[in-house]
Amino acid sequence: MAHDILSQFYTCLNFPLCERIQELTRIIDQAGSLKDLQALFPQLINNIFAPSLQNGWGIRQETYERNEFDMLLNFLEPHGPVFRLCYKLLTDPQLKYNLPLNVLPLQLQMTLERGRCPQFYADLLTMDSQALNVVALALNPFDYYIFNFALYLVNNNQNKNWDHRNSVYFDLACDYLMHFLPCDPNVPVSPNISYYTGKVPMVAPLQTANRPRSPSLLIMSDLSGISNQHPSAQTQSRNEIWRSETVLQIFIDIWMSVEPFNNGNIEMYQRTYSTVSSSPERVRIVRALVKHIHGFSAKYNSDPSAMSALRKYARQIMCSRAYHYVKHLVTTWPLDASFRLVMELWLSLIQPWRYTDNTTNRSRYPRTQRNQEEGNTATLDESFTQFIAENFPSYTCIFQLVIPRFTRLDLSAYKNAVMLFRLGKVFSQPHLVPMLLNLERAIADNVSGSPDNGHNNSNLDLSYTYNGVALNKWVTIAKQAISELNMTATFDYDPVWSENKREYMLEFVKRICAAKHTAEKNLENYTAKLNQHNQGFWNSIKLWFMMGDSTEESILLEEYKKVPNYLTSCVNYFIAIFGLNENMLLPFETELVEDSSEHSSFSNSNNLTLSIAHKLRNKPNEIQYMGDPELKPIMSYENTILVRILYQISTRLNELYGEEFSRLWTRNDFWGYVAREVLQKPTTIHLYVKDSSYQQSVVNQELPARLSLRPLGSHVFVAWISIGYIFCRIFSYSGIFYLFFLVTMWSLIVLSKASLKILRIINE
């Protein structure tokens, strides 16, 4: 029987995905022998999370538009067949599967080898009896699955398409967070598996870093909530929450792992960036994790339950790990618009007051609730003063890394203006900057609330107290947070609101003003360009027949209109954030001044972002497609299938008659003029190629005169051809006659335009 089940299992792995899932579900639900399931379980998990698409199931590539999406989701969801299999196997508490240490992220490997790991790993470590070092983790089936699920994201960075917002993997990650870390304290994790007793009780208390004593920073009691409880009560307590503990600890440790790089070898890091960096998908998933843990911890109460202790513990470990992860991303992320993913992750980390409800549900279903988060009206209040003090570097240290990026961007570009607007809007929230400012000054002066007479600002009261509560008691916590989160002996905190930064702050705001002026000019130029483009007889005909990229033009025009408004708000935001006076904004040149940030106290010449910035400093204001026009992405006004068919036809004709086309184009007789009406003119395109060291370079390529049939692939052209054919049939003309009529009319138009150009009646 065992041989029969295993043979069925191996056979079904070669089936198409839908049939494979159906057969595996049948095997899991109907298998009678536990030993058979124990044998096939690790092979099933390894097959699902195989690194290559040829061997794995591709759950990071499957999106909700695909037919297999729902089947994969149902198979892997918290109540699906895979978890039913895990719970069946948990009936044997001695069953363990080894996970080699070398498959874990380097940071976690080093932590486990040094013995400074969280207590969660205490009963999981497998030692080499001879070398006396950690070689593997011994995991129960549930832990084994969660580890493999988390590692699949970190160890497979081949998916660089950050537009894949709803892959099976992303939705499963959100489902696991909502199910195993329920925000509602009254909702238990289901199903109840009290029969499993394989976890070692938490005999010692959970500990965080040795910070000063404060209500949330004291050494936590054990998960049972009472330190001197009887061991059997401790066991029972952990049995209720160990699955939540597993999901929390593993997701944080693996997804927020940081791969270090050597500042002295930045070029080599850039070459291997694609293999060691976080993918955009990973950043988006980590943001969902951060938001959910904020909501999960917000439901903490003082009752002595294990889940309550876990809620309190969750935010503490998450914030510490997230700080280093976000700091690494800000330092190494490319200087492009995708940085908004990193910035939104950071802004989610420092705004827990926005995620007191079930925000993961909105991440899980963004198609129907995409704008709900933006409409969240939750505001900062006194209950978060302690959080801000405990995570003070997450606000100020990362802020000092983010600002220099914007000095190297074209702020008149829409996406960059939106990013800057989001940053300014968050830090201009009432009470946030005054709290950070007073804490920073108290840290610098060792006296809470001591005024700085050189920093005149009517908007920021130097004797600021939050709802009547002085910030003195939080200063020690903030100072300790700076020393703990920046774990280098040579780290010296550089204040954001110090007097030596005022000139840099002023130049930054002037740069925004200059970008606003540039954006207004860009709007005027683009509007004039559109008006000119729509003038003339032929353009009027095209506009009347709706032949053209009118949708894209209207979207682009709308973006041009929004940029000046965004930048105006940014000027007001950063004047308030930096404590400047509007009178300080002296007249400035419309051209951006030479970047002075390299000499400012914000900058660091060893940063990877500076190395990238030197290559991208002179970025043009308008980004244009520079490749082969025939390979330009298919637009919304074009028929995808028809464009591809026409491309194949024109490519074949150019291969056969390319030399003849080139000769006709250069002729100055009548047929030369005709050829120039029909063919595309020679042009130079720019291609990006990678050499053996994976460095990109631009290569110019000359395209000769060639035939292009792509204009025939527009929806409007197809619609008018269809309407003409219908009228032709109404008047009893055949399709051959209609085709002959079209060819004749096209020939007459081409010959007429060629003749008029020979006679210089119309411009060539």
pLDDT tens digits, 395-446: 999 999 999 999 999 999 999 999 999 999 999 998 899 889 888 888 877 5
pLDDT at res. 528? 86
Comparing C-alpha atoms, which of 77, 187, 195 is closest to residue 140? Answer: 195
Helices (H), 366-501: 385-390, 392-406, 414-427, 432-445, 472-485
Residue 44 or 370, more confident: 44
309 pLDDT band (50/70/90 cuts)? confident
Contact 360, 338 (CB under 8 A): no
Residue 478 or 231, more confident: 478
Element (DSSP H or E) covering residue 169: helix 168-180
Model confidence at 534: pLDDT above 90: no
Instruction: Give the least confident one: 283-297, 311-325, 620-634.
Output: 620-634
Contacts (Cβ under 8 Å, ≥6 apart) of 33: 1, 2, 5
**Mean pLDDT across the stretch 604-608?**
42
Q: If you search the block for the tokens 């095997």, which residue do you land on? A: 27
Contact 58, 164 (CB under 8 A): no
364 pLDDT band (50/70/90 cuts)? low
Model confidence at 283: pLDDT above 90: yes
pLDDT at res. 268? 47
201 pLDDT band (50/70/90 cuts)? confident
- Residues above pLDDT 70, as percent of the chain: 73
Instruction: Give the least confident one: 133-147, 316-330, 390-404, 485-499.
Output: 485-499
Highest-confidence segment of 231-235, 284-288, 361-365, 476-480? 284-288
**Mean pLDDT across the stretch 4-24?**
90
Rounded Cα distance, 87 and 77, in Å: 13
229 pLDDT band (50/70/90 cuts)? very low
pLDDT at res. 550? 61
The secondary structure of 708-748, three-state, reads CCHHHHEHHHHHHHHHHHHHHHHCCCCHHHHHHHHHHHHHH
132 pLDDT band (50/70/90 cuts)? confident
Instruction: Give the least confident one: 346-355, 370-379, 483-492, 736-745.
Output: 370-379
Helix (H, G, I), strand (E, B) or coil at 623: coil
In angstroms, what CA-CA distances link 303 with 206, 315, 698? 17, 17, 63
Residue 519 or 639, more confident: 519
The secondary structure of 124-154, three-state, reads CEEECCCCCCEEEEEECHHHHHHHHHHHHHH
**Mean pLDDT across the stretch 183-204?**
81
Comparing C-alpha atoms, which of 35, 39, 38, 13 is closest to residue 24? Answer: 13
- The four Cα atoms 179, 183, 185, 187 give a dihedral, to 10 degrees, of -30
456 pLDDT band (50/70/90 cuts)? very low
pLDDT at res. 610? 39
